[in-house]
Structure 1
Amino acid sequence: MILSKGNLKGIKVPGLTVPDAKLFELPEKVLQFGTGVLLRGLPDFFIDKANRAGIFNGRIVVVKSTDTGSSAEFDDQDSLYTLGIKGIVDGKKVEEDIICSSISRVLTAGKDWAAILEFARNPDLQVVISNTTEVGIQLVEGDVHKAPPVSFPGKLLAVLHARYEALGSGEASGLVIVPTELIVDNGKKLKAIVLELASQNDFDKDFINWVDQYNYFCDSLVDRIVPGKPDAKTIERLEDQCGYSDNLRIASEAYSLWAIQGDEKVKSVLSFAKADPGVVIEPDIEIFRELKLRLLNGTHTLSCAVAFLSGFKTVKEAMEDPIFSVFITQLSFNEIAPAIPYQVSQEVAHDFAAKVLDRFRNPHIEHQWISISAQYSSKMKMRVIPVLMQHYRTETTPPENMTLGFAAFIRFMKTVKNAKGEYVGTSNDQEYKVTDDNAAIFAEAWKDENTDHVVHSLLSNENLWGGPNLIILPGFEEAVAKKLKHILHDGILDPVK
């Protein structure tokens, strides 16, 4: 039995949230560009939850923008899909299974462009959401009158123009547009490109003014691990348990955040935010970006080499080790949280840090340390160096755990170039590949057998760190060299202790 509206009555699984029939009668209020698992596991989930609570009361029309594939899987299941949420919240395991009904239909840009423009003219439409990957928000010059236009900004411009022509230039016809692509200032950049395309294609000034004044392009930040469709064995097991097949089934962690930059007008339109504390609408969302960058990404980066050199393959495996768990907790709470280069209370920082560690402990997520190590040096520059510099604005001694993380990073980057032109290192008698644009710099430094020279050469290389010469930080060079020697002589676990 396949998941569909007609088969819902036959699905009786304890603990499974099944949509009420009245939810299918709700008006279509959202146009979404993208069918990916992140959208279905975060924004679409939030809207589904709000609809079930009687708050937003609107469904989503999804545009499949890519030329490959079709909407058949969605059509076969009436756009229903199961979301399995598993994770740890406040130290306790959370498991929830929901059949989401927020999507009403899926249209393909290549075949259904006329229907998409027809929906653009619908007065019920209030919101546009997108996730077209980072390369989706870019200026592609060309004729936006094509059916469809090539780029996502071109498609959005065509949608806005169709709406403007049908409903006029008043405030009531404007939309709230929330891109979720993983780039900074995604809303501002999307708006700038749309306005540039409108100018290039000689749209009239009244339309351009309407786009600028009455459509709200909101910067947003999304944060949730949505690994995607479970493997074949898991799907088979779930089908046996639930009694139905679902080709759109996805899984996600329990943690969720969708931070949207907007005012009271935006908040009133995006009323689904009331249904879940994971949706945050504020005039400034930079604090959420900083917390994520420093306490999630920065903690990952500083602990990556420590974990990998200790022999741990995955994040959850490392978190199960009591020695490593103490290290990463002290690193996050005692060193990174107080040194975030943004005005944030320690209460807020510690609360976020606790959630991060809960996420790291999630037994259902297989996050490989070697994957986290990709472009390690640039991650250190972007995520860690600003925290280190902030630490030294108030302290005169090196941070113990950050220093260990730095020393382990340098040891991890000890590589040689193989016959294929790849940079490879060795740890615990296992060879590993380093994927880093600066790998050659580290390999060259490691040709010197003197550990002090290696550390001095790398810490003084301002190009690696985006400007600062790390040699000038009191005691830092000496502390890193000391820990690196300890790692080389005794292994990584002893320095963690």
Structure 2
Amino acid sequence: MQLSKAILTSVKKDPAVSVPGEIQLGLPEKVLQFGTGVLLRGLPDYFIDKANKQNTFNGRVVVVKSTDTGGADAFDTQDGLYTICVRGIEDGKQVNEYIVNSSISRVLSAKGQWEQILEVARSPELEVVISNTTEMGIVMSNDRVTDTPPASFPGKLLAVLYERFKAFGGTAASGLVIIPTELIIDNGRQLKEIITRLAEQNELDAAFISWISEANHFCSSLVDRIVPGRLAGEDLEQTREWLGYRDDLMIMSEVFRLWAIEAADPKVQQVLSFAQVDPGVVIAPDIERFRELKLRLLNGTHTLSCGLACLAGFETVKEAMADPVFEAFVARLSKDELATVVVSSQISYEEACKFADSVIERFKNPFLDHKWLSISFAYTSKMLMRDVPLIKGFYGNESKGPAAIALGFAAYLLFMKSRKEGAQYVGTANGKTYVLNDDKAGILARKWEAYPATDKLVDAVLADSSLWNEDLTLIPGFAAEVKQQLQFLTESGAQAALQNIIKE
């Protein structure tokens, strides 16, 4: 049977399965959401559904999709219902939950149902706008507010806001809480600036432009949850058989979830009442510390572990973390070294270590097939953005070597040793070749060719400001430790280097 409202009473009765009741199916539409992607369904809509089931937020979501399929789709067939399979490790315990999410009331096409979307804009029950239109979605355009619909997301949002302004006479109470989740720093501020410029470009009323700024809350936000999406193959069939129904919208997500929303006004806290039901939603006047924790301890650990994992013969993150020695390396890297640098007036060492522990659990998730080669994409740029500030901080604090950071960087250098084949740069490890997806691959290949002796190579790479925007040989002690680790890697291999580092 196909998932829909009609079969909810027949869904498997099991503590691991959460099903909505009649009350949740009839809640008012409080949220307008631009985007149907799995991240929105696996994070904001997850929180809203959880709150609705606890009688807290009591509102559903109208989703705007940019395309017009020309007919009924799975959202229509399934009455907006879909299943989230939450799988992973939390507090050392394996989690396997199945949630029938009823947060979505309907899905409207911007192309074919624009007037219905404007009707939602005129609704007194609307309180929140959420978006995830990719990083290219929040851009300036030449849209007219009268277009049906405007082409860009900011153009559509401007039209929605203008319609609401006219419907309610520009009252302060009619303003909305607007939360973009696109992966852009200060996404709320940037969206507000574009909306304001678009309104001026459209020569709209000065009173409306003031209302945009004064009555609406544009909240920057940071999202963090791996939502791979649709289950595959045998896993999908087994899950369908166990649940007892077919769901064409079923998605899988990890257990970890974070939605950090930047807001100081108490009204935002009041409107976003779903934050009360899950510690994964954080509303704070400044969310920079959450960005720093994610960038340095999640992304930074990934980057400094990547080359070493590939050289050691591990294909996926979970495979590497199943090895006790590699897990010990990641723990030392993230907690003993990187966490000490992250500490600031906003972040304590205890908080940094707690986040690092959650990162380790995420890496160990047996349900995710995250490939190290995928993580190595744009390797040099990631090293520059994520880890160079940490390297400078760590080695500026009289560190004791040999450091896991130095081994991670040395492994990056060895991983980037390559030869050109056609238009690609190809490396070799454990008898297997791999393609380097890095715009700096040519620079590293030429340095390996010019400086085959590891000491000279290290100096040449670290001193190249075209890679790092500065001379990294000036960092006290760093070059010496990288040279030591690279020599050990070259002579003894990655597995021996891992064993050696965790003995220290």
Which secondary structure state, in structure 2, belongs to the residue aligned with residue 128 of structure 1?
Answer: strand
The one-letter code sitting in structure 2 at the alignment partner of 1:65 is S
Instruction: Render the CA deviation track for 1:31-58: whole Å, top value 9, x for unaligned.
Output: 0000000000000010000000000000
- What residue is the counterpart of 2:192 in the other structure? 191
State how 1:80-91 maps to structure 2 within 5 Å.
80-91=81-92
Tell me the CA shift for residue 284 of structure 1.
0.3
**Given the superposition, is the C-alpha separation of residues 104 and 75 from structure 1 closer, same or farther in structure 2, using an over 3 Å criterion?**
same
The one-letter code sitting in structure 1 at the alignment partner of 2:398 is E
Residue of 473, 490, 497 corresponding to 1:488:
490
Which secondary structure state, in structure 2, belongs to the residue aligned with residue 446 of structure 1?
Answer: helix
Contact 1:79–1:104 (8 Å) recurs in 2? yes
For structure 2, the residue ranges without an aligned partner over 5 or more in a row are: 500-504
CA distance in 2, matches of 1:466, 1:214: 43
CA distance in 2, matches of 1:403, 1:67: 52
Tell me the CA shift for residue 413 of structure 1.
0.4
CA distance in 1, matches of 2:154, 2:400: 50
Contact 2:402–2:481 (8 Å) recurs in 1? no
Which secondary structure state, in structure 2, belongs to the residue aligned with residue 142 of structure 1?
Answer: coil
Contact 2:343–2:352 (8 Å) recurs in 1? no
- What residue is the counterpart of 1:211 in the other structure? 212
Contact 2:63–2:106 (8 Å) recurs in 1? yes
**Given the superposition, is the C-alpha separation of residues 70 and 289 from structure 1 closer, same or farther in structure 2, using an over 3 Å criterion?**
farther
Which secondary structure state, in structure 1, belongs to the residue aligned with residue 256 of structure 2?
Answer: coil
- What residue is the counterpart of 1:115 in the other structure? 116
- What residue is the counterpart of 1:412 in the other structure? 415
Contact 1:60–1:103 (8 Å) recurs in 2? yes
The one-letter code sitting in structure 2 at the alignment partner of 1:293 is L
- What residue is the counterpart of 2:502 in the other structure? none
Contact 1:290–1:342 (8 Å) recurs in 2? no
- What residue is the counterpart of 2:107 in the other structure? 106
The one-letter code sitting in structure 2 at the alignment partner of 1:388 is I
Which secondary structure state, in structure 2, belongs to the residue aligned with residue 143 of structure 1?
Answer: coil
Tell me the CA shift for residue 348 of structure 1.
0.6
Tell me the CA shift for residue 394 of structure 1.
2.2
1:379 matches 2:382 = yes
The one-letter code sitting in structure 1 at the alignment partner of 2:395 is Y
- What residue is the counterpart of 2:263 in the other structure? 262
- What residue is the counterpart of 2:445 in the other structure? 443
Contact 1:130–1:181 (8 Å) recurs in 2? yes
The one-letter code sitting in structure 1 at the alignment partner of 2:372 is W
The one-letter code sitting in structure 2 at the alignment partner of 1:45 is Y
Contact 1:71–1:107 (8 Å) recurs in 2? no
**Given the superposition, is the C-alpha separation of residues 340 and 217 from structure 1 closer, same or farther in structure 2, using an over 3 Å criterion?**
same
- What residue is the counterpart of 2:21 in the other structure? 20
Contact 1:157–1:198 (8 Å) recurs in 2? yes
CA distance in 2, matches of 1:7, 1:256: 29
Instruction: Render the CA deviation track for 1:216-239: whole Å, top value 9, x for unaligned.
Output: 000000000000011132222222
**Given the superposition, is the C-alpha separation of residues 155 and 292 from structure 1 closer, same or farther in structure 2, using an over 3 Å criterion?**
same
Which secondary structure state, in structure 1, belongs to the residue aligned with residue 439 of structure 2?
Answer: coil
State how 1:288-367 maps to structure 2 within 5 Å.
288-340=290-342, 342-343=344-345, 344-367=347-370
Contact 1:18–1:98 (8 Å) recurs in 2? yes
CA distance in 2, matches of 1:126, 1:181: 20
When structure 1 is superposed on structure 2, of 235-244 and 408-417 the one drifting more is: 235-244
CA distance in 2, matches of 1:178, 1:192: 14
State how 1:222-241 maps to structure 2 within 5 Å.
222-241=223-242
**Given the superposition, is the C-alpha separation of residues 35 and 478 from structure 1 closer, same or farther in structure 2, using an over 3 Å criterion?**
same
Tell me the CA shift for residue 90 of structure 1.
1.0
Which secondary structure state, in structure 1, belongs to the residue aligned with residue 331 of structure 2?
Answer: helix
**Given the superposition, is the C-alpha separation of residues 6 and 282 from structure 1 closer, same or farther in structure 2, using an over 3 Å criterion?**
same
The one-letter code sitting in structure 1 at the alignment partner of 2:99 is I
The one-letter code sitting in structure 2 at the alignment partner of 1:126 is E
- What residue is the counterpart of 1:40 in the other structure? 41
Runs of 4+ in 1 over 4 A off after TM superposition: 67-71, 396-399
CA distance in 2, matches of 1:205, 1:399: 62
CA distance in 1, matches of 2:391, 2:79: 51
**Given the superposition, is the C-alpha separation of residues 436 and 339 from structure 1 closer, same or farther in structure 2, using an over 3 Å criterion?**
same
CA distance in 2, matches of 1:37, 1:261: 23
Residue of 389, 394, 398 corresponding to 2:392:
389
**Given the superposition, is the C-alpha separation of residues 398 and 67 from structure 1 closer, same or farther in structure 2, using an over 3 Å criterion?**
farther
Instruction: Render the CA deviation track for 1:314-350: whole Å, top value 9, x for unaligned.
Output: 0010001111111110000000000127431011101
The one-letter code sitting in structure 2 at the alignment partner of 1:236 is E
Instruction: Render the CA deviation track for 1:382-440: whole Å, top value 9, x for unaligned.
Output: 00011111113322555610000000000000011102x10100000100000001111
State how 1:445-460 maps to structure 2 within 5 Å.
445-447=447-449, 448-460=451-463
Contact 2:47–2:274 (8 Å) recurs in 1? yes
- What residue is the counterpart of 1:9 in the other structure? 9
- What residue is the counterpart of 1:176 in the other structure? 177
CA distance in 1, matches of 2:281, 2:178: 15
Which secondary structure state, in structure 2, belongs to the residue aligned with residue 23 of structure 1?
Answer: helix
The one-letter code sitting in structure 1 at the alignment partner of 2:440 is N
**How large is the Cα RMSD of the aligned pairs?**
1.2
Tell me the CA shift for residue 477 of structure 1.
1.1
The one-letter code sitting in structure 2 at the alignment partner of 1:380 is M
For structure 1, the residue ranges without an aligned partner over 5 or more in a row are: none
Question: How high is the TM-score relative to the length of structure 1?
Answer: 0.98
**Given the superposition, is the C-alpha separation of residues 70 and 431 from structure 1 closer, same or farther in structure 2, using an over 3 Å criterion?**
farther
**Given the superposition, is the C-alpha separation of residues 494 and 20 from structure 1 closer, same or farther in structure 2, using an over 3 Å criterion?**
same
CA distance in 2, matches of 1:412, 1:389: 22
Contact 1:341–1:386 (8 Å) recurs in 2? no
Which secondary structure state, in structure 2, belongs to the residue aligned with residue 417 of structure 1?
Answer: strand
Which secondary structure state, in structure 2, belongs to the residue aligned with residue 183 of structure 1?
Answer: coil
CA distance in 1, matches of 2:247, 2:253: 16
CA distance in 2, matches of 1:201, 1:395: 58
**Given the superposition, is the C-alpha separation of residues 276 and 195 from structure 1 closer, same or farther in structure 2, using an over 3 Å criterion?**
same
